[in-house]
Amino acid sequence: MRGAFFRALLELAEQDDRVQLVVGDLGFGVVEEFARRFPKRFLNAGVAEQNMTGIAAGMALSGKIVFTYSIANFPILRCLEQVRNDVCYHNANVKIVAVGGGLAYGALGATHHATEDLAILRSLPRMVVVAPGDPVETEAATRAVTAHAGPCYLRLGRAGEANVHHGQIHFQLGKAIQVRDGKDLTLISTGGLLETAVRVAESLRHTGLRTRVLSMHTVKPLDSDAILAAARETGAIFTLEEHSRVGGLGGAVAERLAEVSEGAILFKRFGLPSAFCSVAGTQEYLRAQHGLSVESLAVAIRSKLEKNRTLTVTNAG
């Protein structure tokens, strides 16, 4: 996703001289080309994220489209009040980009796990929260947040994820992308677990379950229509995110379903517990540790559906 982001950003910078990149002394090996091609629109603010974010707001209020870039929680939580007051309150045209969403920097330890960011950022007024599912979505999301006048948070995974989408996609902020259709259940994914979601759907297909997979790349504003249609048409919704189960995609979908769903539906959130993960490990290892492997997810979904079927039969009997 990182590569896709920079590819798109370079093109956008070529087309629009308002585009600026401000980094917090991170991005070795990836920010240099921007700095070389657009030296007057690149800024390394140093290891000082509060100032970096205030500067970005000041530049945006002077007519620029400013991308701040750092890793994990540094460009959001370290400077959360600057994000809230300076960026959001002033509707400043700042795009905050964090690479290393979720457990992408797994082995670096809990300080580098961005696992509450979606919950925190989506509570800020005006903030658009985007977690693309693969490199193809990342390129499209980079263009979409640039075109959107106002604060955006772009949560990227790491470098080198495989493409889930092949060919053109129709990407619109706030509109989920249906990756495959199904009538038995819906799996709604955000961020880099999209590939896992598709593989879970394939695994479930072998047991006769047809899964609708939605890539909910925009967590805020949330695509209510897609959620309600999924509830109505499949009756079972599972959410999937590399993020705390508190307040992220699962929380957002639950809020919406609880208020507006017409009938009872089956619902479960897959994500991380509200806990610090203090063992080292690759992203893949840590996902598996938290039940986010394809196999564990498929088992958990089948179990939930079967339990529900048993209950339904018992009640009917």
Partner 1 sequence: MAESQAESRDVSSLARRIRVQAAQMIHRAKSSHLGSAFSMAELLAVLYAKILRIDPERPNWAERDRFILSKGHACAALYAVLAERGFFPKEWLDDFYQDGARLAGHATHVGVPGIEVSTGSLGHGLPIACGMALAGKRDGCGYRVFAMLSDGECDEGSTWEAALFAGHHRLDNLIAIVDYNKIQSLGTVKEVLDLEPFAEKWSAFGWGVREIDGHDLDQIEETLASAPAVANKPTCVVAHTVKGKGVSFMENKLLWHYRAPDREEMTKALAELGAEE
Cβ 78 to partner 1 shortest distance, Å: 11
Residue 44, CB-side half-sphere exposure with 13 Å CA sphere: 13
Nearest distance from C-beta of residue 70 to partner 1, angstroms: 14
Question: Residue 57 or 120: which CB sits closer to partner 1?
Answer: 57
Q: How far is the CB of 125 from partner 1 (least distance, A)?
A: 12
| 121 three-state secondary structure | helix
* Residue 190 interacts with partner 1 (CB under 8 A): yes or no: no
Choice between 63 and 160, CB closer to partner 1: 63
Nearer to partner 1 (CB atom), residue 84 or residue 155: 84
Query: Smallest distance, Å, CB 66 to partner 1?
Result: 8
**Can residue 13 be called a binding residue for partner 1 (CB under 8 A)?**
no
Shortest distance (Å) from residue 40 CB to partner 1: 6
* CB of 189 vs partner 1, minimal distance in Å: 36
Using CA atoms, how far apart are residues 160 and 285, in angstroms rounded to an integer? Answer: 17
Of 41 and 268, nearer to partner 1 (C-beta) is: 41
Write the binding mask 67 to 86 for partner 1: x where contact by CB under 8 A, - elsewhere: --------------xx--xx
CA distances for 67 relative to 41, 59, 145, 211, angstroms: 10, 10, 10, 37
Burial of 19 (0-12, 13-18, 19+ CB in 10 A): buried
Q: Is 43 in the site for partner 1 (CB under 8 A)?
A: yes
| Residue 89 lies near partner 1 (rule: CB under 8 A) | yes
> Tokens 């994220």 appear where?
49
Distant-in-sequence, close-in-space partners of 66: CB < 8 Å, separation ≥ 6: 20, 22, 56, 57, 59, 60, 92, 93, 94, 95
| Binding-site string for partner 1 from residue 44 to residue 63, where x marks contact by CB under 8 A and - marks none | -xx-x-xxxxxxxxxxxxxx
302 binds partner 1 (CB under 8 A): no
> Of the candidates 7, 90, 256, 290, which one interacts with partner 1 according to CB under 8 A?
90
Nearer to partner 1, 59 or 236 (CB): 59
| Number of CB atoms found within 10 A of residue 313's CB | 9
Class of residue 261 by CB neighbours under 10 A (exposed 0-12, middle 13-18, buried 19+): middle
Question: How wide is the angle at C-alpha 236 spanned by C-alphas 234 and 242, nearest 5°?
Answer: 120
Distance CA 18, CA 1 (A): 23
Nearest distance in Å: CB 41, partner 1: 8
CB atoms within 10 A of CB 259: 8
Residues that bind partner 1 in the complex, under the rule CB under 8 A: 40-41, 43, 45-46, 48, 50-64, 81-82, 85-86, 89-90
